[in-house]
């Protein structure tokens, strides 16, 4: 799954580099991305720049802060958010081109405990809920 993410992001960066200018004259690609993606994106950007000569500039932060900055006029060629709700927010304000949006990854909150643990936990969220990552855990009664 991570390989698909890398290929999709690399493809997006290639699309952003204009074929009408020589690579030596390319303007940097500006990527605003969730802080949790910093290691992966920095690595991808180095390979992208080595292959194309196009530099990549980053701005890392929370998805909320980045979406708000773009809404206030900050320049960005690519937004990599870690929060679907903030991508929806950006899309509702026409800050992204709908045809370019790709939901690449998802995750799930899990609790790991010893098999013989005396306390059991249960989630407040339905397993299919998009907001389940925000649901708190509480001891089962």
Contacts of 7 (CB under 8 A, 6+ apart): none
Return the pLDDT at 133: 42
Domains along the chain? Answer: 2-100 (3.40.190.10), 108-141 (no CATH)
Return the pLDDT at 126: 53
How far CA 134 is from CA of 39, 55, 77, 129, in Å, comes to 24, 36, 29, 10
Q: Which two tokens stand for residue 82?
A: 């870690």
pTM of structure: 0.63
Q: What percent of the chain has pLDDT over 70?
A: 66
pLDDT tens per residue across span 27-55: 899 999 999 899 999 999 999 999 999 99
Return the pLDDT at 128: 47
Give the Cα separation of 113 and 119 in Å (integer).
Answer: 9
């Amino acid at each position: 799954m991570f390989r698909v993410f890398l290929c999709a992001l690399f493809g997006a960066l290639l699309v952003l580099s204009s074929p009408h200018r020589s690579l030596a004259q390319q303007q940097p690609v500006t990527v605003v991305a969730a802080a949790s993606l910093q290691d992966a994106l920095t690595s991808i950007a180095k390979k992208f720049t080595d292959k194309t000569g196009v530099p990549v500039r980053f701005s890392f932060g929370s998805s909320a802060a980045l979406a708000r900055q773009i809404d206030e006029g900050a320049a960005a060629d690519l937004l990599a958010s870690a929060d679907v709700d903030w991508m929806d927010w950006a899309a509702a304000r026409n800050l992204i081109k709908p045809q370019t949006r790709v939901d690449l990854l998802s995750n799930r909150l899990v609790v790991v405990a010893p098999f013989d643990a005396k306390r059991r936990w249960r989630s407040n969220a339905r397993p299919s809920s998009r907001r389940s990552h925000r649901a708190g855990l509480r001891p089962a009664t």
